[in-house]
Amino acid sequence: MDASDLLERARSRAGDPADPLETLTAAIALGGELSTDADALLDLAVRQARQAGASWTAIGERFGFSKQAARKRFTPPFAHRQLANRRRKLDMACSFCRQPPGARVHMVHGEGGRICEQCVELAHEIVAGMAKRR
Ligand SMILES: [Zn+2]
């Protein structure tokens, strides 16, 4: 399908096919649909390649961009948000037991990490036990 075929298709959709600006309006809409279709085509092809076990590195190579760019481009935004949320939760977790923060988990924040109240208690018991043995 070449550009003049597509232009004819746009003209046939135009309110007034004799008006070039009406044809342009129809061409803009058609172009939007085509690029959505092209994106959907690539999304589907990438999803199938991933399901068949292709790596992000191999997929990125086909497009001429990096593994990270390929993953970023073709991972649905929802999955990105989930990953970011999980990472943020992990960043906020207790540095000792990895317990995530929560309404019922008190956390003491320090410069390079944080400690939950259970770990504070455990640490207190350990230190108290050491003191007794001295
Ligand atoms: Zn802890």
**Domain match, 97 and 51 both:** no
**Domain match, 68 and 124 both:** no
Residue with tokens 């690539």: 42
Q: 88 CA distance to ligand 1 centroid (A)?
A: 16
**Domain match, 38 and 53 both:** yes
d(C-alpha 128, C-alpha 85), whole Å: 37
Domain termination site, one of 57, 75, 93 = 75
C-beta separation of 13 from 28 below 8 A: no
> For residue 49, what pLDDT is reported?
93
Domain termination site, one of 37, 57, 75 = 75
DSSP tag of 49: H
C-beta separation of 117 from 100 below 8 A: no
**Domain match, 68 and 95 both:** no
**Domain match, 64 and 21 both:** yes
Q: 125 CA distance to ligand 1 centroid (A)?
A: 14
Q: Which residues pair with 108 in a beta bridge?
A: 115
Q: How many domains does the chain have?
A: 2
Per-residue b/e over 113-124, b at no fewer than 16 CB within 10 Å? Answer: ebbbeebeeeee
Q: 36 CA distance to ligand 1 centroid (A)?
A: 48
SS3 112: coil
DSSP tag of 107: E
Q: 90 CA distance to ligand 1 centroid (A)?
A: 12
Neighbours of 95 (CB within 10 A): 14
Tens digits of per-residue pLDDT, 36-53? 888 889 989 999 999 999
**Domain match, 68 and 10 both:** yes
> For residue 61, what pLDDT is reported?
93
Q: 106 CA distance to ligand 1 centroid (A)?
A: 10
> For residue 125, what pLDDT is reported?
94
d(C-alpha 82, C-alpha 113), whole Å: 23
d(C-alpha 123, C-alpha 96), whole Å: 10
Tokens of 75: 């991972």
Domain termination site, one of 27, 49, 75 = 75
Q: 86 CA distance to ligand 1 centroid (A)?
A: 17
> For residue 96, what pLDDT is reported?
93
**Domain match, 89 and 68 both:** no
Q: 113 CA distance to ligand 1 centroid (A)?
A: 11
**Domain ranges, residue 47:** 1-75
**Domain match, 64 and 95 both:** no
Residues of the chain with pLDDT under 70: none
pTM over 0.85: no
Alpha-carbon torsion (25, 29, 34, 38), positive or negative? positive
**Domain match, 68 and 89 both:** no
